[in-house]
Structure 1
Amino acid sequence: MSLRQDAPTAIPSTAVPLLDNLQVCRAFAAITVVIGHALHDAGVVAAGRGVEAPGPNLDWTFGVDVFFVISGFIMVYVSGRDFAKPGAAWQFLSRRLIRIVPLYWTLTTLLLVVGLLLPQLLTIPIGSLSYIVSSYLFIPEWRIGAPVPEIRPLLALGWTLNYEMLFYVALAGVMFLPAKRAIAVLSVLFAAAVTARFAFDIQQTQLMFWSDPIILEFLMGCYLALARQAGWRLPAPAALLLAMAGIFGSVLNSGSAAEMRPLVVGLPALMLVAAAALGPSLPRLAPTRIAILLGDASYALYLSHPLVIRSLREVWLKLADPAWPLWVYAVLCVVAASLAAIPIYLLFERPMTRLLQGKAKGRREAQKDLATVSPQAAAVSTGR
């Protein structure tokens, strides 16, 4: 495998080109999670009918590890020259909150309403008022009533957003430093948190959650972004081999113990994302364009697919012939979830994001104008 180093580049945050390769990676990560949940739900239907569940029997959650590596890469890469600039941290947090909050709150509210009006559709009760508030505020809490004790919000897949919020706040907290120093400080803090978790057997809910070794996968993405900005690139054959090795390693090791996950699953996820980030652009063929669209809609797909699958289960149980193989149900779940995510993205997520970003930009420009005019007004008022 060869690695060449081009001239270093810095990407301004105001004009970041869309990395189609990473959108394909996002599509892959989201689809793997959806496949896992579709197969799990098919297993629920199979158990109710006393038949064998469809396979393959894999832990499909490795898509989450890919998402965390991508998050680290995107946050550092997109921030570009914003590091060490006044006000950069607040602008960064504003952009990230605008990106994730509206859709998450909307789907959480939808699930809450369904749980209050049709509680029989939920397998786990919605919980106490404090639990609901914590779910909206991205604060990790134990989910009461789950078959297995777990720290999950009301919209269960929001557990990954509880980590994302940690990443946002942590990165914003070091953005007063140049990028390389900021990531170095963040590395020390995250390593110390993980070490303390095991050294002191931390049991406090939020500290235990936020010090999980999985947070180290975010750092992998951060360093990958620094490598790309330094000019590192992979030729097509090397990128292809690296991507294949990453996918194979992720599938093979996805069921590993939590404390080893950054090594046995995180590193393969890093290999896949590195192939996308450092390799040449994929050809703009029809399959690539479809994958890019799914990548654009990956956040909507990730959050909404449990609701789609649960709804489809009700339809399947009422209308499907019991003799139909359940792998057909699993495939329908994946297709339906993917098709539902695209209009959610096009008609809600993207317009809402643009609207809120426009308002935030307008406020920033108004503040700049005020800062420019105020000294002049002060000078006039004092006769200077």
Structure 2
Amino acid sequence: MKLQSIQALRGVAALLVVLMHLRVLEAKSIADNGLSEPGIIGGLFTNGYAGVDLFFVISGFIMVYVTRNTAPGARAAIEFLFARITRIYPVWWAFAGAVTLYMIAAYGLPADNADWANATGGQPAASYLLKSFLLIPQSEFPILNVGWTLIHEVYFYLVFTLLLLAPRGWLPALLAGWAVIVTAGALLGLSSHNATNLVTLIFHPMTLEFLLGAAAGLAVTNGLVWRSGLLTLLATLWLLIALGYQGEETVFLLEWGRVFWFGLPAALLVYAAAGLDFENRHIWLFPALAGALVMIALYLLTGADGTSSEEARRAATLLTVTVGGVAMLIIIWFGWLLGQGAPERLNRTRSFFRHLLNGAVKLGDWSFALYLSHLIVLSALRLVFGMLGRSDALAPLFRLGHPGLMDNLVFAVTGLVLTLLTSWLSYRMYEQPLTILFGRLRKTMFHRDQPQPAPA
């Protein structure tokens, strides 16, 4: 059973990160041009890095869900690890390799000059690249910096593989024990806002987000589904409140703060959305989406973002969550009225929503490629805008910071279209064929000894 709501949330998580980086690169280009106008992307997307927290929660949920019928033992554990490793590394190597080739072209070989030293933090280039490609913690971000999250993912996979060796009934206690160990180590000062070595990786509080997702997975797979529609609405409001109210990034935020601000509402949202999948009540996603879009647009119109004063963020958040909540209620009320008086129109609405959900699911399918490719695409686009913007004739369209919104709008729309197109092509032409190939290889390796059903 493919969990459509969860897959759609993967797409939402990736888009949050894309929009955040689009905003950052837009602001850098405006500054490089010696201008100071605000970018077109702001508001809640200032804190779009919360998409990573949502990713981690989804990852924990999926690990529990896909192994719900797995028998304990070494064979099943190794098969699980094989499936996850072949899902991550080949795609990562493609994009990390592209950045490596760019750096070789830009900085030259041998990799012993100042530019390479600046990129590697003074480490030998060979060691830095090896750790980057293997996703091993080190003092600097990997060659493609979004890969820092994959270092955490690989760690999650390795530990969860060990948990699969034990009887399934032990899993709740083992996950709870893991949470206690992480919490204790972090409180003892063994963590850091960046996982620069094995110790800081093991005790990083963001692991608790993975465990929150695993707890949601345990609840759902054991049939503990409660008020999924209502909880989806409340979790959506909670997460948007966190996105709106959270301000300056601090060391606390990058460790424990992310768990409290974003991990908890993300876990509730994943639990509720999975419940909608199990109960086939996806229609509840429609008022959640409507309320979210109203809140995002209204918060943007207030002019507040993560850099605004606490008072401004609080006022904007209170206003937008109130209006967003009312919008959700209006959608539910109209849905009820249509169901009572014009059920045929409601059915046509359901058909439209089904197409919308299918589109979001496809975006979720592309989400890994989208996450890995977007910085490459947007950075290249920024260079193109920088070159074209030098021309006064082209300045209204390509010189970011030029008076008016046209330059900002062109950059934002072009950036989104190109990143989506790149992720779709990467998924269809590289990631999906590899997934099929490794899926067949996994069946050959781990299921060839199983008896085949007799022909009909």
- TM-score of the superposed pair, with normalisation by structure 1: 0.83
Matched, 1:262 2:256: no
Deviation at 1:236, TM superposition (A): 5.9
Say if 2:217 and 2:271, in contact at 8 Å, map to a contact too.
no
Partner of 1:108: 96
Residue 164 of structure 1 and its aligned partner are, at CA, apart by 0.5
How far residue 254 of structure 1 moved from its aligned partner, in angstroms, is: 4.8
2:7 corresponds in structure 1 to 23
Write the mapping of 1:35-54 to structure 2, written as runs, cut at 5 A: 35-51=19-35, 52-54=37-39
Distance 1:352 1:175 in 2: 25
1:73 and 2:78 are equivalent in the alignment: no
Change (3 A) 1:37 1:234: same
SS in 1 for 2:395: coil
For the residue of structure 1 that corresponds to 2:69, the secondary structure is helix
| Worse overlay, 347-356 or 283-292 | 283-292
Q: CA deviation at 1:286?
A: 2.5
The one-letter code of the counterpart of 1:249 is I
* TM-score where L is the length of structure 2: 0.70
- 1 CA distance for matches of 2:442 and 2:213? 27
SS in 2 for 1:177: coil
Alignment partner, residue 249 of structure 1: 241
Question: How many angstroms apart in 1 are the aligned matches of 2:238 and 2:199?
Answer: 30
Q: Which amino acid aligns with 2:16?
A: T
Gaps of 5+ in 1: 1-16, 144-151, 370-384
Counting only pairs closer than 5 Å after superposition, residues 1-384 of structure 1 correspond to structure 2 as: 17-51=1-35, 52-54=37-39, 55-56=41-42, 58-119=46-107, 125=119, 128-143=125-140, 152-201=141-190, 205-235=197-227, 237-252=229-244, 254-255=246-247, 257=253, 258-279=255-276, 280-282=281-283, 285-320=354-389, 321-324=394-397, 325=405, 326-328=407-409, 329-366=411-448
8 Å contact kept, 1:99–1:353: yes
CA contact (8 A) 1:249 1:265 kept: no
Matched position secondary structure for 1:232: coil
Deviation per CA, 1:223-253: give whole Å up to 9, x if none. 1111111213344640442242243134135
1:26-66 Cα distance to aligned partner (Å, 9 max, x none): 11000000000000000111001122241415221000010
Counterparts of 2:227 and 2:117 in 1: how far apart (Å)? 49
Letter in structure 2 aligned against 1:65: D
* Shift of residue 114, structure 1, vs aligned partner: 0.8
1:294-328 deviations in Å (ceiling 9; x for gaps): 10000000001111101111222233533343531
CA contact (8 A) 2:7 2:361 kept: yes
Instruction: Give the partner amino acid of 2:211.
Output: L
In 2, Cα distance between equivalents of 1:366 and 1:38: 47
- SS across alignment from 1:77: helix
Question: In 1, Cα distance between the equivalents of 2:116 and 2:225?
Answer: 48
- Match of residue 13 from structure 1: none
What is the CA-CA distance between 1:368 and the residue it aligns to? 5.8
2:119 maps to a residue whose letter is P
CA contact (8 A) 1:250 1:269 kept: no
Partners of 2:228 and 2:275 within 8 A in 1: no
SS in 1 for 2:67: helix
Query: Over residues 157-182 of structure 1, what are the superposed CA-to-partner deviations in whole Å (9 max), with x where a residue is unaligned?
Result: 11111001111011111112233422
Percent sequence identity over matched residues?
30
CA contact (8 A) 1:239 1:278 kept: no
Are 2:4 and 2:361, in contact at CA under 8 Å, matched by a contact in 1? yes
Which position in structure 2 is the counterpart of 1:11? none
Q: Which residue pairs with 2:290 in the alignment?
A: none
Deviation, structure 1 residue 75 = 0.6
Match of 1:375 in 2: none
- SS of residue matched to 1:139: coil
For 2:72 and 2:190, how far apart are their aligned partners in 1?
Answer: 36
Tell which has more relative contact order, 1 or 2 (C-alpha 8 A, sep 6+): 1
Secondary structure at the aligned position of 1:43 is classed as: helix
Is the Cα–Cα contact under 8 Å of residues 69 and 217 in structure 1 kept in the other structure?
A: yes
Give the RMSD, CA atoms, in angstroms. Answer: 2.4
Equivalent pairs counted in the alignment come to: 345
CA contact (8 A) 1:170 1:186 kept: no
CA-CA distance at 1:366 after TM superposition: 4.2
Cα 1:180–1:364 change in 2 (3 A) is: closer
Question: Could you tell me whether the CA contact under 8 Å between 1:61 and 1:254 is conserved in 2?
Answer: no
- Secondary structure in 2 matching 1:82: coil
Return the offset for 1:125.
2.3
Moved more, 299-308 or 235-244: 235-244
1: distance between equivalents of 2:366 and 2:219?
A: 27
Deviation sequence 1:197-242 (CA, Å, 0-9, x none) = 3315467732113311111000111111111112133446404422
- Note if contact 1:301-1:337 (Cα within 8 Å) is conserved in structure 2: yes
Greater Cα offset, 349-358 or 199-208: 199-208
Q: Which runs of 5+ in 2 are unaligned?
A: 109-114, 284-349, 398-404, 452-456
**What is the rounded CA distance, in whole Å, between the counterparts of 1:61 and 1:296 in structure 2?**
20
Distance 2:225 2:233 in 1: 14
